[in-house]
Amino acid sequence: MVNHQEKKADTRQKLIVSAAKCFAEKGYEGCSISDISKAAKISQGSIYVHFTNKEELFLYIIIEDHMSATKKLQNALVTAPSFDALLATLLECIRDVSYPIDHRLWTEILAQATRNPAVRSAFLASDKIMREAFINLFKKAIELGQVDPQEDLETVSIWVYSMVDGLIARTAYDPNIDLDTQMPIFEKLIRRALGANKI
């Protein structure tokens, strides 16, 4: 028998997935609580049990995505620390943006971060945590002699994730983008830029 807590968790997850889909299709501004309620097939009152408003729900989705990427990087640091593991994690983030986020929603999140101070603040805070995990794995690659030790790690993390964001955005609006074609080029450019091929 499903207990109350399990049912509440299921409802919350259903709400998050439905909201993510609505934000991706209509944009943050165009998606209302009513739209989310209809998509999730739950009452508007039930939404407010989990989130105080639409913005809090949107911010939760952003933070959860960054934390998902952070966990992947941290796991790689523990299980198989290397430059190859770092690259594999980046490629996975591009190809498979953390569910329930898709490439369209990630582009909407980036757009909102330029306009909405609360979104910008939450995005930058969780982005910093994610990039710190990236830097820790990158440091391990330096210790292993796999990449150029002279690079400024903070700058590298911003530069690399700018490329990740750009390719995700391109995938969202360009139906002709083939990730199977793009990924090897992305990997080659990253290796070349960070001196991985020269070590």
Looking at the structure, tell me whether residues 151 and 188 fall in a common domain: yes
Residue 198 lies inside a defined structural domain of this protein? no
Looking at the structure, tell me whether residues 46 and 85 fall in a common domain: no
Mean local confidence (pLDDT), 25-29? 96
Count up the domains in the chain and report the number: 2
pLDDT score, position 199: 46
Does the pLDDT at position 1 exceed 70? no
Looking at the structure, tell me whether residues 175 and 102 fall in a common domain: yes
Looking at the structure, tell me whether residues 127 and 186 fall in a common domain: yes
Distance CA 36, CA 22 (A): 7
| CATH number for the domain harbouring residue 143 | 1.10.357.10
pTM of the model: 0.87
Q: Considering only 22-36, 90-104, 138-152, which range has the smallest mean pLDDT? A: 90-104
The one-letter amino acid at 127 = D
Looking at the structure, tell me whether residues 46 and 79 fall in a common domain: no
What is the widest separation between alpha-carbon atoms in the chain? 59
Looking at the structure, tell me whether residues 101 and 150 fall in a common domain: yes
- pLDDT tens, residue by residue, 54-79: 999 999 999 999 999 999 999 999 99
Q: Crossing angle of helices 83-95/153-173, nearest 10°?
A: 30
Does the pLDDT at position 43 exceed 50? yes
Residue 199 lies inside a defined structural domain of this protein? no
Mean local confidence (pLDDT), 100-118? 93
Contact call for residues 40 and 20 (beta carbons, < 8 A): no
What is the pLDDT confidence band of residue 198, given thresholds at 50, 70 and 90?
A: low
Domain of residue 79: give its range: 54-193
| CATH number for the domain harbouring residue 37 | 1.10.10.60
pLDDT score, position 50: 94
What is the pLDDT confidence band of residue 197, given thresholds at 50, 70 and 90?
A: low
Looking at the structure, tell me whether residues 68 and 45 fall in a common domain: no
